[in-house]
Structure formats: structure tokens, C-alpha cells
Amino acid sequence: MLISKLGEFGLIERFRKQIKNDPSVIKGSGDDCAVLRLDKGSYQLFTCDMIVEGVDFTLKDDPYLIGRKAIAISISDIASCGGIPRYCVVSLAIAKNTTVGFADKIFKGMLDTAGAYKVNIVGGDLSAAKRIVLDVSMLGIVEKKNLALRSRAKIGDIILVTGALGGSISGKHLRFTPRLKEARFLVNNFSVRAMIDISDGLIQDLRHILDQSRVGALLYEEFIPLSEKARGLNDALYSGEDFELLFTLSPKDAKALLKRRPDEFRAIGEIVDKSCGLRLVDKKNRSNRVKFKGYRHF
Amino acid sequence: MLISKLGEFGLIERFRKQIKNDPSVIKGSGDDCAVLRLDKGSYQLFTCDMIVEGVDFTLKDDPYLIGRKAIAISISDIASCGGIPRYCVVSLAIAKNTTVGFADKIFKGMLDTAGAYKVNIVGGDLSAAKRIVLDVSMLGIVEKKNLALRSRAKIGDIILVTGALGGSISGKHLRFTPRLKEARFLVNNFSVRAMIDISDGLIQDLRHILDQSRVGALLYEEFIPLSEKARGLNDALYSGEDFELLFTLSPKDAKALLKRRPDEFRAIGEIVDKSCGLRLVDKKNRSNRVKFKGYRHF
């Protein structure tokens, strides 16, 4: 059997269930970051993200933005867990016949982005390959009370997002702003029940929250904020790499948040019993079960 | 200009000198691991290593050993700094038409190796690519007094190695034992002045110690332990991926070590003034300056 038949998530699950960790691992694979024991008040966060030429970018893209993206994806993961990014290491495989100018721009993109978010680039590895592969591993820190996971959504919670969704392929996937400021504002001021960043599409990433929290959800079509570049609702639901935050709050917290920051955050649905599954509600209040699909590598 | 003209180390140096880190970074890129502030008694170690199909292994190799190698390289880096490996994340790019059996074996190799050294695999990222790329980032811990760097060799130190060198390409590069036990024995019982693992060849890795410690060295040909697979002295000097420890001790410590463990460790030379450069001494006590060469990706 080929791995393409098992699918990306099938293969990951097959691996994950064989892993055994010691008790210092608060949360292993399966969230945006691993959560590790650190000290009395804090956890350490640890995440990695690999981007590959021809999949996540092409040689026609600005190399500065390729470097930018590699760093920004990991910052977004740390933000999704409510944390502060601190250190990263960078592995780069690149063709021997690349120009120094091209490599310089990739590195400038990484350096500027790391600098803007106060992340230290502390090491790396360089290798030769026909196609560029860039892997960033990042460490962060989060106060125990601020840790946000995918697994704590509760029935009755309001589902919210930052920004607008869809159409990322037209450029946002290389230029997105990791929602670190927003995530820290949320965890410092509210009790964030569940949080994830939208990397594989709203529906697929919401599914991770629903699966891990063992709940269902209603999404209201009219409330889903479409980006200017979105080619309709389906694009906002299923296309990947928006890198916006998707999170749930108690109704009380949601109300308080939307009062304080009505332009930054949008309520798009609510958490319901698992038996309801995930349903999309249209303007006429008709609801349909949603197919779970989104970006998959295979 | 192409990066192949600048060379691997030229490109790395070009990047490194642009990096600015905050004071919590005790040692950034340029050693086997980054060294980060942790607590009163310990530092955190952070390293990454990428292996690429066609460079570090081929599809004819046993996939179990490919997985094994990916983890073992990072364990060797943590060991070289005197530390204990604790956590890792794994990024894997793999072709869609790979069999599940092949992927299973890669993972089994990673899992068994991590387990044998008590390393927790706490997360990962999966991507599609035509050629396999496997990147492991690892965290470790080291007592402050046990930290071993490349930069502290002193004139008069004895240069030592574990194991035997050369011929790794015939199989050892996939099956080597990371010298964690030996490294911990060394740092716990002696004052290790400088240490590195031999990944790019004895001469090239010794060069890193000499450069960073601002010293020179004499190597005695007859004392360099050749592996059974080595095709002569040059193979032991210049071929990569032995993954043995190369370190320096004071003469007193070296004597005590060789008395206790004469079979595990070998003295191969001594640290001298920088002005001597690196010289190879033959059986007739004639010395020649050594060319600095070894494995480079480009």
C-alpha cells in the first residue's frame, strides 16, 4: 500500500500511536506545539515546520518572502499555543548552482522576520539538494495559565477568528502576519478554551479542535469573513495557509472581546454536542453537514 | 556568483555574522549545539540536522537505518557538548508513491533509536517531496560545569578520539553508535577542554577546534586509529561521518583517562601554538603542514 492511500493524516496517526514519552512531556505531537515541563510557572513550547520548493513556494516567488514564510509559520504555531517565541534553528537544503544573491535574500527574510518578533536564530544546518527545503524548529515559552490547546473547547463556546479568510494562494501565504500580538492579547485577557492557527483551511483545522475536544460545531455562513482575494465561501472554508487564529471562548468572554475589539475578531459559530457533527448554517437558517476536507500533502 | 564558489562554510559564515542574539543565548551557531540559558545549574542545548536522499543516504539503504541515522546524528551533537538529549521534533518530506512499509521502517528506526537514548519524539511535520528529506531538531540539557565547546583547547593539551576512523561510507555512517556514554563519562570525570564529533572528517573537524580556540596542533600519524574499513590514512583524516568524539584534555587528565580506559580512547596528538598551524608527524618524526580539506556539501 502507498502512503498516498493512507493519506497525510492517516500516516501521521500511524506514527503517533507508537510514540511513548516520559511524564515531562505535557503534550506531545498532535497540537500546534509540543508542551514540555520547564519551571514552576511556565511550559516550554517546541515546534517544527518544513517548507518545500514546488509545494509551499516556487522559484518564481521572492526569496525574501520564502525566508520570511519559513520563520513566520513557526511563530504562528507558538502564538496558537498562547506562547512567546524565543529561539529557532534553521535547516536549509539548496542547489549548488543557486546564486549567492538568492541565498542572501532567503536569509534576509528569515533574519528580519525573526528580529521583528524577537526570535533568536541560534543554529542551523546546510545541505545540498536539487530543490530547496527549509525547515525551522522553534522554541517558545508560555505561562501555565496561558497555555492554549486544541482540546479544551466546551459546548456553548463561541467560535471566533482573526482576520479574513480565503485567497491566500494569491500572495498572503508568503506575506501573512503571524497573529502573535492578538494571541497574547487573548490569553492575557480571556480564558481561551481552544486555539489553533488555520494552516490547512478553516474546516480542516476546526476539525482538529472538534476531534480533540470531542464536540461538534455550527458555523454561520454569513459571519465568515471573506478576504478580498477569496473566490467565494468555499475558498474561505477549504483553502489553506490563511494563518489566522481560530479559537473558542465562553459566551461571556466572547461578548467582552467583541465589545473591546470589534474589528480584529469575528464570531463565526458555536460549539455544540459531538452528535451534531459540524454543520454549516445558511442565511435562511438551513443547516448542512460539512464535508471534512482541506489541504493535504497526500 | 554561485554559492558553490563561496563554499558551504563560506555561506554559513556569511549568514552567521549577520545574526544578533540576546544575552540568554550563551552560544549561538558555530558549535555542535546552541547553548541557551536555562536555570541556575544547567544550560539547554538545541541542534538540528538535515539528511537528504542522494547525499546522506540512497533508496537502496535500509530505511530503518535512514531513520536511525537521522536521530543518531543529533544525539551525537548533544553528546559533543557534554549534554543529555531529551526531546526532538522530526520533519519528513517524502514522495507520495512511497510504500507504507518503507515509511514504517524509517519511523521504526527513529523510534528505536530515540527510545534507546531516552529521547522523547514530541512532534513533527510531514510534507510531500520527490526526494526524501529528514530533519531532526533536538533539545538536551547539560550541567554548566559539564558544557564542552570547541573553543577552549589550550596549548599543551592532548588530542584524543574515541573509536577508529575512516571507511564510514561502507556502512558505519548508517550504523554508528552516538558516543553519548563516552561523552558523559568524560565530562563527569575530567575537565574536557574542547570537544566536537567527527562528521566531516578528522582534519576538518579538528580545524573547527583550532580556529575557535586560536591554537595549532601536531597529529602523530602512527597513533591515529584506522578502522578495518579505512582505505589508508587519508581516509581516516579526510572522510566524513565517523561520528566519533574528538576532544582535548590536559596532559594530567589524558594520562588518567588512558590509564582507566586504554581501549576506548586514543591520544593522537597535542595542541601547540597557533603559529605552527596543523602539522602531521610521521614515524620518522618529520612533520608536514596539513591541507584543510574534508566533506563539504558544496
For A63-79, the pLDDT digits (tens) are 999 999 999 999 999 99
A183: part of which helix (H) or strand (E)? Answer: helix A180-189
Q: Is residue A45 part of a domain?
A: yes
* Residue B245 pLDDT: 98
Q: Cβ of B56 and A127 within 8 Å?
A: yes
d(CA A265, CA B252): 67
d(CA B193, CA B154): 7
Residue B271 in contact with residue B248, Cβ under 8 Å? yes
Q: Cβ of A48 and B4 within 8 Å?
A: no
Residue A142 in contact with residue A82, Cβ under 8 Å? yes
Residues A107 and A171 reside in one and the same domain: no
Domain at A239, CATH number: 3.90.650.10
Q: Is residue A251 part of a domain?
A: yes
Residue B58, chain A, CB below 8 Å: the answer is no
Q: Is residue B294 part of a domain?
A: no
Q: Which amino acid is at B216?
A: G
What Rg value do the Cα atoms of chain A yield, rounded? 19
Q: Is residue B7 part of a domain?
A: no
And the C-alpha cell for A68? Answer: 520570511
- Of A118, A145, A172, at which residue does a domain stop? A145
Residue B48 in contact with residue A90, Cβ under 8 Å? yes
And the C-alpha cell for B217? Answer: 596542533
CB contact residues (below 8 A), chain B span 260-279, against chain A: none
Looking at the DSSP bridge assignments, the partners of residue A195 are A247
Residues A91 and A166 reside in one and the same domain: no
Residue B10, chain A, CB below 8 Å: the answer is no
* Residue B295 pLDDT: 81
Residue B6, chain A, CB below 8 Å: the answer is yes
Cβ-proximal residues to B237 (8 Å cutoff; 6+ apart), any chain: B165, B166, B201, B202, B203, B224, B280, B290
Average pLDDT over chain B reads 96
pLDDT above 80 for B294: no
* Residue A57 pLDDT: 94
ipTM for the predicted complex comes to 0.96
Q: What Cα–Cα distance (Å) separates residue B43 from each residue in A137, A151, B75, B89, B191?
A: 18, 32, 16, 19, 17
And the C-alpha cell for B262? Answer: 586504554
Residues B163 and B135 reside in one and the same domain: no
How many contacts, defined by CB atoms under 8 Å, are there between A and B? 228
Residues B168 and B136 reside in one and the same domain: no
d(CA B248, CA B191): 9
pLDDT digits (tens, 9 = 90+) for A221-241: 999 999 999 999 999 999 889
Cβ-proximal residues to A17 (8 Å cutoff; 6+ apart), any chain: none
Q: Cβ of B96 and A124 within 8 Å?
A: no
Indicate the pLDDT class of residue B293, thresholds 50, 70 and 90. Answer: confident
As a whole number, mean pLDDT of residues A120-145 equals: 96
d(CA B220, CA A216): 71
- Nearest Cα to A203, choosing from A280, A88, A284? A280
- Of A87, A121, A145, at which residue does a domain stop? A145
Residues A118 and A190 reside in one and the same domain: no
Write down how long chain B is.
Answer: 298
Burial classification of residue B293, based on how many CB atoms lie within 10 Å of its CB (0-12 exposed, 13-18 middle, 19 or more buried): middle
Residue A283, chain B, CB below 8 Å: the answer is no
Provide the whole-model pTM.
Answer: 0.96
Indicate the pLDDT class of residue B148, thresholds 50, 70 and 90. Answer: very high
pLDDT above 90 for B298: no
- What distance, in Å, lies between the first and last C-alpha atoms of chain A? 13
* Residue B143 pLDDT: 98
Q: Is the dihedral of CA A31, A34, A37, A39 positive or negative?
A: negative
Residues A183 and A110 reside in one and the same domain: no
Residues A38 and A79 reside in one and the same domain: yes
Looking at the DSSP bridge assignments, the partners of residue A201 are none
Number of structural domains in chain A: 2
pLDDT above 80 for B290: yes
pLDDT above 80 for A292: no
And the C-alpha cell for A79? Answer: 502564538
Residue A86, chain B, CB below 8 Å: the answer is yes
What Rg value do the Cα atoms of chain B yield, rounded? 19
DSSP string, B87-144: EEEEEEEE-TT-BHHHHHHHHHHHHHHHHHTT-EEEEEEEEE-SS-EEEEEEEEEEEG
* Residue B58 pLDDT: 93
**Cα B178 from chain centre:** 9
* Residue B98 pLDDT: 95
As a whole number, mean pLDDT of residues A130-148 equals: 97
Calculate how close chain B gets to A116, using CA atoms only, in Å. Answer: 12
Indicate the pLDDT class of residue B297, thresholds 50, 70 and 90. Answer: confident
Cβ-proximal residues to B282 (8 Å cutoff; 6+ apart), any chain: B221, B222, B288
CA A273, A274, A280, A282: dihedral to nearest 10 degrees? -20
Count of beta carbons in the 10 Å neighbourhood of residue A9: 16
pLDDT above 80 for B291: no
Residues B45 and B123 reside in one and the same domain: yes
Q: Provide φ and ψ at A84, rounded to 5°.
A: -115, 125
Q: Is residue A2 part of a domain?
A: no
* Residue B142 pLDDT: 98
* Residue A293 pLDDT: 75
Residue A249 in contact with residue A192, Cβ under 8 Å? yes
As a whole number, mean pLDDT of residues A164-172 equals: 92
* Residue A125 pLDDT: 95
Domain at B58, CATH number: 3.30.1330.10
- Of A145, A174, A204, at which residue does a domain stop? A145
Q: What angle do CA A14, A245, A282 make, to 5 degrees?
A: 95
Domain of A265 in residue numbering reads as 148-289
Residues A122 and A164 reside in one and the same domain: no
Average pLDDT over chain A reads 96
d(CA B70, CA A296): 25
Residue B59, chain A, CB below 8 Å: the answer is no
Which residue is listed with cell 543565548? Answer: B25
Strand locations in chain A (E): 25-27, 34-37, 42-52, 84-94, 120-128, 133-143, 158-162, 194-197, 216-220, 245-249, 265-272, 278-281, 287-289
d(CA B39, CA B45): 12
Q: Is residue A14 part of a domain?
A: no
CB contact residues (below 8 A), chain B span 108-127, against chain A: 111, 115, 118, 120-127
Q: Is residue B80 part of a domain?
A: yes
Range in A75-84, A284-293, B70-79 the model is least confident about: A284-293
Q: Which residues on chain B are in Cβ contact (under 8 Å) with A12? A: 124, 126
pLDDT digits (tens, 9 = 90+) for B95-129: 999 999 999 999 999 999 999 999 999 999 999 99
d(CA A236, CA A230): 6
Residue A26, chain B, CB below 8 Å: the answer is no
* Residue B41 pLDDT: 97
As a whole number, mean pLDDT of residues A200-208 equals: 95
Cβ-proximal residues to A286 (8 Å cutoff; 6+ apart), any chain: none
Residue A62, chain B, CB below 8 Å: the answer is no
Looking at the DSSP bridge assignments, the partners of residue B48 are B137
Residues A161 and A81 reside in one and the same domain: no
Residues B169 and B93 reside in one and the same domain: no
- 3-state SS assignment for residue B244: coil
Q: Is the dihedral of CA A234, A238, A241, A246 positive or negative?
A: positive
Q: Is residue A26 part of a domain?
A: yes
Which residue is listed with cell 510531514? Answer: B126
B260: part of which helix (H) or strand (E)? Answer: helix B251-260
pLDDT above 80 for A294: no
Which candidate from A28, A96, A111 shows the least CB-CB separation from B3?
A96
* Residue B236 pLDDT: 94
Residues A241 and A112 reside in one and the same domain: no
- 3-state SS assignment for residue B193: coil
pLDDT above 90 for A291: no
